[in-house]
Amino acid sequence: MRSISFGGGELVGAIRRRAMLPLLAAMLAGCGTFGSDRELPPLPEFVTGARLELAWKTRLKGSPIYHPAPAVVGRQAAILAGVDGVVERREDGRQVWRVALEQPLSAGVGSDGRLAVVVTQSGEAVALDAADGSEKWRAKVGAEVLAVPAVTGIAVVVRASDSRVFGFSPADGRRMWVYQRPTPALALRSSVGMLTDENVGVTGFPGGKMVAINLANGGALWELTVALPKGTTELERIADVVGTPVLAGRNICAVAFQGRVACFDAVNGDLMWSRDISSAVGLTSDGSHIYLTDEMDAVIALDAATGASVWKQDRMAGRGVGRPLVLGDFVLVSDAEAYVSMLRRDDGALVARAATDGSGVAVPLEPLARDRIAVQTVDGGVFVFTAN
């Protein structure tokens, strides 16, 4: 296994399974649990130990199917997009620029602070200048895109729902390469992110695979198995890597639906540890711990070096809990009613909660500053909270 430089070190290399086939079918169709009529369990009580205070809010066009995500482009600065093609930059809530692309969007915003890239529902990537919103180029993808583009100085990487990954030139949108893997007969309709650094991008695929791609030419550097499909039916054999792989010390870690969470050594690609934990939303890390939401909506903290359990917060079971976000001394999660809950990072205790518009959180929570998070809902509401 060849090693590659990543982040200054060496890097190698639910849908919730509750016997609820109608919910499973809905999520496979891309409807998810947002805005569903199913009754959620009540919110758990907690002892206040911190605060989530609204810093500012705005509203864009939302959708139950397509969810453009906000991109953080500087301290207190974010580029936002509505599904109707309106893109705007805000700094501490103040609108800096706003453009209307007049084409509905399926994905975005991806940004490196210089370019901001969105993708239309007709499969066209549109790059804007992050400073002033002027259009720089357009590039044809020719397929549905749900994932946020990964924007680097080497390539703008756009991943289509059919598992093709496209690399476009940041300068002019010229197609540089295409990477493709075979897709199983049945796969999750989800937004799978890409972890990038320097000339390498790492992402997960259906079938439990995690692949590192050379961003200059689209060649595969290595492939690792996070999980293996099991069972006899196509539904049982879904084992897709979900969310975005994360770095945890010298390891790279990922999680698969109906599979496991696994961490691999940075030098030789050896499996360091794995746990049979399924997730439909993904994981995150603070370097020393892995945090993930399992198929039963429990938020779990694991030791990143060994995989040992640190804590488990299961009092939000059944509420459609999203991927965790680490912010300072806290871990934050959203739920299907668009509440944001804050847990203590050391023991998982619930210490604060904030409401948004009740429509569900469309995309994973994003850190806007050292103590702020951005929340974008299914109805298009954007809420920025200060955590303290």
- Please list the pLDDT of the chain residue by residue as tens digits (388 residues): 334 444 443 333 322 333 333 334 334 333 334 444 568 999 999 999 999 999 999 999 999 999 999 999 988 899 999 999 999 999 999 999 999 999 999 998 999 999 999 999 999 999 999 999 999 999 999 999 999 999 999 999 999 999 999 999 999 999 999 999 887 777 787 789 999 988 999 999 999 999 999 999 999 999 999 999 988 888 888 899 999 999 998 899 999 999 999 999 867 889 999 999 999 999 999 999 999 999 999 999 999 999 999 999 999 999 999 999 999 999 999 999 999 999 999 999 999 999 999 999 989 999 998 899 999 999 999 999 999 9
pLDDT at residue number 9: 38
pTM, two decimals, is: 0.90
Question: How far apart are alpha carbons 78 and 92 in whole angstroms?
Answer: 8
CATH of range 3-387; options 3.40.50.720, 1.10.760.10, 2.130.10.10, 2.60.40.10 = 2.130.10.10
Q: Across the strands, what pairs with 57?
A: 383
Structure tokens at 144: 């549905």
Cis before 361 (ω within 30): no
Q: If DSSP states are collapsed to H, E and C, what string results for 106-142?
A: EEEEEECCCEEEEEECCCEEEEEECCCCCEEEEEECC
Two tokens, residue 226: 């996070």
Domain boundaries, the chain: 3-387
User: How far is it, in rounded angstroms, from Cα 108 to Cα 62?
Assistant: 13
| pLDDT value for 34 | 45
pLDDT score, position 37: 58
Nearest 5°: the CA angle 226, 267, 6 is 85
Q: What is the pLDDT of residue 74?
A: 86
Q: Which residues pair with 265 in a beta bridge?
A: 251
Task: Name residues whose C-beta falls within 8 Å of residue 199's C-beta, 6 or more positions apart in sequence.
Answer: 154, 214, 215, 216
- The total of other beta-carbon atoms located within 10 Å of residue 113's CB is 14
The DSSP element (H or E) to which 24 belongs, if any, is helix 21-28
Residue 57 burial (C-beta neighbours within 10 Å; 0-12, 13-18, 19+): middle
Backbone φ/ψ region at 292: left (φ over 0), alpha (ψ -120 to 50), beta = beta
Beta carbons of 27 and 36 less than 8 angstroms apart: no
Phi-psi sector, 176: left (phi>0), alpha (psi -120 to 50), beta: alpha
